[in-house]
Chains A and B, each alone.
Chain A
Amino acid sequence: MIRWLPGLIGLCLVGLSLAATQALAADPVTIGVGYLGIAGTRSTLSLVEQPAENDGVAGARLAIEDNNTTGKFLNQRFALEERRIKEGEDVVQAATDLAARNGFIIADLPADALLKVADALRDRGTLLFNTGAIDERLREADCRANVIHTAPTRSMLADALGQYLVWKQWKRWLLVVGSHDEDKLFADALRRTATRFGAKIVQERSFEDTGGARRTDSGVTLIQRQMPVFTQQAPAYDVLVAADESEVFGAYLPYRTWDPRPVAGSAGLVPRSWDAAQDQWGATQMQNRFMKLNSRRMTALDMQTWTAVRMIGEATSRTNSGDVKKVTDFIKGPDFSVAAFKGTKLTLRDWNLQLRQPILLVDGRMVVSVSPQEGFLHQVSELDTLGYDRPESKCKLK
């Protein structure tokens, strides 16, 4: 009895592994992608720019569809699990819960929340994609080895705009800065750009947020009186550059400056990773697919999220695997690139896991230009003329 027991166990094991192989051949490999965001939307000055409830995640949904179209040829299936936390909810708990079922998490979170999540999930091996936070520090002093950034940084956005303004010979800037922290961070990035590319900030003014509603019944009358006054008596300048991420005053400036000058930055000519008007390099098909699925136009946040989920799909098809470690290694490796309708392949900066990408300059109706601009050269990639470069980086991936 005892003698033939091991043999029996052996037989059972063979049977089991056979069954497993058969199951593998028949069932597709499922790749779980979690989405973690904050419920609610922020308010914008322009009603047209008001983000939809599904801003961002809509891009993930489309990328899941695209990945599944490819996946059916490779026996891979992608599933999206969405989670939006409300105020007061524990972001780490929500992330840990998502990570139990998903090896990849798309995170549209503020910087601090993202860092908490990254540190909590570090030992688990979950790969995070930062799709929303443009903060420099997430790629610099606070960079993490388990966070890939598809959102551009403030310095990339500022450099993209600055290159164009300098190319246009609009080198004298009147910088107007909002009173919130993120406005000041954007202003820092713009100052750095001016120094790098030889523009001159002729004067800085700050616009205090004194509170108040963004929508009023008699809005225009008052704004029309305020903005010319606010911008008068400026030294000679070519362009007004506004740093107003908080949406307090930027959009009020075009056509209302005391001197007839164009506006750029947070209003007027705006640097963005994507725009609904982008139609070059095959983007029309992408815009059409997005519209068909979501019944609205595609925003920069949607694109940053789409790109993250497509990066996962690209890596799973290239490695022919759904294994998180294998896929993560491939994405971080030297052979990885992804196509995202920007006329060039997008790759990762290996020193901080930031996605290199061209930045569009848009005016709300059209794509005016795409940076890097001609003539801004780099020894590795012209895309590295946008934002902090390797020699300047403070990031030590861990």
Chain B
Amino acid sequence: MQAEVRTRMLRCWRVGLLSGLALAAAPAHAFVAYVSNEKSNTVSVIDTESWTVTKTIKVGQRPRGIEFTRDGKFVMVAVGDDDTIQVIDAKTQGIVDTLPSGPDPELFTQDAAGKTLYVANENDNTVTVIDLEKRARLGDIQVGVEPEGMTISPDGRILINTSETTNMAHFIDTTSRQIVANVLVDARPRFAEFKHDASELWVSSEIGGTVSIIDPGKHEVIGKINFDIPGLRREAIQPVGIGMTKDDKTAFVALGPANRVAVVDTATRKVTKYLLVGQRVWHMAFTPDEKYLLVTNGVSNDVSVIDVAAQKVIKTIQVGELPWGITIAP
């Protein structure tokens, strides 16, 4: 026990040393967010202390899914129209490599160790498995029509893929790479997110206008979240990105052309608040300290910053055209 504490302290010390002055000088941690701009074929880099765009990186065509590698050294961005995933070095902020995805990659997820990457390829109904160290393609898994949402269970055993026209969440065993269950959800499921305690899987249905809550053990829909915004027609409510706080108590759901992010109490499964953000809100990412939640607004070309504790939008940052995905350095 004591040995473990000591090792941890030692590790912290090392990290502190490495980070050096930057850490010492900034009481509130500054983080770096990367935003993919679907239309301008760029990635905007945002500094979360000054809330400004510090750099715009030119990438391939139609960048959408974007994520940091687990070690925080690289940013992977799916450039669908170039049929590949580009790798950006977080230090030099230049493209250093590409990953062998299938055609038209959109969203992807990686295992906890950051060794295996799973990519949804919208064009050929497959999920591609990539070895991140060797940067080699390990194989494909056949799924439903237009695979999109991707996430992995906290224990790494189950990979979830949602298919937009088949309207299912596919449960894939990561060892055998076989589908073990299919759960029907509402129309056009776009995004999937586990609770951190793995007790629930949340899947947003863009056209159905709902979020399905699935019991991952029983493979059953055990609840559904509906959204009702006075004065707004139902068709405009199109849930996409989902963010869950680490204590699993609060979920944030981006509602697309409803221009709002819903705050959901996960215990009652009721919406407690709608936060007005920019136009056509897509995806979101928390800062690692969970103080802020950043959401991309596709049509208004900006990113809204939400103060998580206060549940308030505190800032808007202009980025490139049609911002879509977002990731923040761990």
Interface positions of A (Cβ within 8 A of B): 66, 69-70, 73-74, 282, 284-285, 288-289, 310, 314, 317-318, 337-339, 343-345, 381-383
Contacts and interface: CB of A to CB of B under 8 A. Distances in A.
B187 A69 contact: no
B71 to A, nearest CB: 33
A253 B168 CA distance: 48
A382 B233 contact: yes
A66 B187 contact: no
Contact of A345 (B145, B165, B182, B235): B235
Contact of B144 (A73, A343, A344, A345): A73
Of A69, A285, A338, A344, the most chain B CB neighbours within 10 A belong to: A285
A158 B145 CA distance: 34
Contacts of A73: 144, 166, 168, 170, 179, 182
B123 A339 contact: no
B104 A285 contact: yes
B123 A345 contact: no
B235 A382 contact: yes
B168 A70 contact: yes
A69 B235 contact: no
A339 B187 contact: yes
B233 A337 contact: no
Contacts, number: 65
- In the A-B complex, the 7 residue pairs with the smallest Cβ-Cβ separation, listed nearest first, are A70-B166, A73-B182, A339-B207, A339-B187, A344-B235, A345-B207, A285-B122
Contacts of B208: 337, 345
Contact of A285 (B146, B179, B233): B146
Contact of A289 (B123, B166, B184, B207): B123
B164 interface: yes
B145 A69 contact: yes
7 contacts: A70-B166, A282-B122, A282-B164, A285-B123, A314-B187, A317-B167, A337-B207
A284 B123 CA distance: 9
A381 B184 contact: no
Nearest to B183: A73
Q: Is the interface of A mostly helix, strand, loop or mixed?
A: helix
Contact of B145 (A70, A284, A383): A70
Nearest to A68: B145
Contact of B165 (A284, A339, A383): A339
Contacts of A285: 104, 122-123, 146, 164
Contacts of B166: 66, 69-70, 73, 317
A344 B188 CA distance: 10
B85 to A, nearest CB: 18
A71 to B, nearest CB: 9
Interface in B203-237: 207-209, 233, 235
B327 interface: no
Nearest to B209: A345
Contact of B187 (A284, A288, A345, A382): A345
Given A66-B166, A337-B207, A345-B187, 5 more contacts: A289-B123, A289-B145, A317-B166, A339-B164, A382-B233
B212 to A, nearest CB: 13
Contacts of B151: none
Contacts of B84: none
Nearest to A342: B207
A316 to B, nearest CB: 11
B125 interface: yes
Contact of B123 (A66, A288, A383): A288
B239 to A, nearest CB: 13
A337 B238 CA distance: 14
Nearest to A380: B233
Contacts of B187: 314, 337-339, 345
A62 to B, nearest CB: 10
A74 B235 CA distance: 28
A382 B236 CA distance: 11
A370 to B, nearest CB: 13
Nearest to A344: B235
Nearest to A356: B235
Interface string B166-196: 1110100000000100101001100000000
Contacts of A339: 164-165, 167, 187-188, 207
Nearest to B233: A382
A380 B175 CA distance: 49
A338 B187 CA distance: 7
Contact of B125 (A69, A314, A337): A69
A70 B167 contact: yes
Of B165, B182, B233, B235, the most chain A CB neighbours within 10 A belong to: B165
Contacts of B163: 70
A344 B184 contact: no
A314 B235 CA distance: 19
B235 A381 contact: yes
Contacts of A337: 187, 207-208
Nearest to A377: B233
Given A285-B122, A288-B123, A69 B144 contact: yes
A282 B146 CA distance: 9
Nearest to B170: A73
Nearest to A65: B145
Interface in B80-131: 104, 122-123, 125
B207 A344 contact: yes
A66 B145 contact: yes
Nearest to B121: A285
A339 B188 CA distance: 7
B151 to A, nearest CB: 19
Contacts of B125: 69
Contacts of B122: 282, 285
Interface in B141-163: 144-146, 163
A9 B270 CA distance: 58
Contacts of B235: 344-345, 381-383
Contacts of A381: 233, 235
Contacts of A310: 165
Contacts of A382: 233, 235
